[in-house]
Chains A and B, each alone.
Chain A
Amino acid sequence: NAGVMQNPRHLVRRRGQEARLRCSPVKGHSHVYWYRQLPEEGLKFMVYLQKENIIDESGMPKERFSAEFPKEGPSILRIQQVVRGDSAAYFCASSRGGSGNQPQHFGDGTRLSIL
């Protein structure tokens, strides 16, 4: 199964620590998107990356959050100095192209819990 792979599936951090979330897109997909989901809510767009470039980061908080999609390896969403409000499910999606008509395939998410 060559779907979107996210790890870890569950991550527990204490306030002030760093969280690193990884996403390996579908083989052949060069476009990656990160979304955040709070309980009983829809997904909120965070950032859109294409290999080595950030295309749109309009949904990502200006502080503590960063994302990268290097030439080799998975995309990483990094949250520094985590706070309780960062607790959520973080989903990664990938697509073959960058237009809105291209279907996005989602991973099963990383559930981040902040103690």
Chain B
Amino acid sequence: TQLLEQSPQFLSIQEGENLTVYCNSSSVFSSLQWYRQEPGEGPVLLVTVVTGGEVKKLKRLTFQFGDARKDSSLHITAAQPGDTGLYLCAGSGSGNTGKLIFGQGTTLQVKP
């Protein structure tokens, strides 16, 4: 059974601080996606990483896929209150069928 462990589960920081969210597994994933979810809404895709060692940047967000494609990280620089939300990592299941295995999520609160 493929599992994704996401840490930390909760994070409360001050505006301007940096943070990193981790997503780890003992399984290899063909790709990994990061989503952000607001209360009462569905997850919104931020990025998909496919190649081991790949790094993608989205403004103040930096996403990295581990060399062995078993782990990923999301780093936010100079966090802002607008970054508050639930961040979810999701890996493509075995067989690359499109079925997504989600981590349990990281709830981020950025205080002004």
Interface residues of chain A, those whose CB is within 8 Å of chain B, are 4, 31, 33, 35, 40-45, 48, 55-56, 58-59, 91, 93, 95, 97-109
Contacts and interface: CB of A to CB of B under 8 A. Distances in A.
Given A56-B99, A102-B98, 10 more contacts: A40-B107, A41-B105, A44-B102, A45-B101, A45-B102, A59-B99, A97-B98, A101-B31, A104-B98, A109-B41
6 contacts: A48-B97, A56-B99, A101-B30, A102-B98, A104-B33, A105-B45
A44 B61 CA distance: 25
B41 A108 contact: yes
A33 B56 CA distance: 26
Contacts of A56: 97, 99
Given A41-B105, A42-B105, A104 B100 contact: yes
Contacts, number: 86
B112 to A, nearest CB: 24
B98 to A, nearest CB: 5
Given A45-B99, A108-B42, A100 B30 contact: yes
How many chain B residues sit at the interface, stated as a range, is: 20 to 34
A104 B90 CA distance: 11
A80 to B, nearest CB: 24
Given A40-B107, A43-B102, A95-B98, A100 B92 contact: yes
A104 B6 CA distance: 20
A28 B23 CA distance: 32
A21 to B, nearest CB: 13
Interface in B9-58: 29-31, 33, 35, 40-45, 48, 50
A100 B104 contact: no
A59 B41 CA distance: 22
A40 B50 CA distance: 27
A108 B39 CA distance: 10
Given A101-B48, A101-B50, A91 B98 contact: no
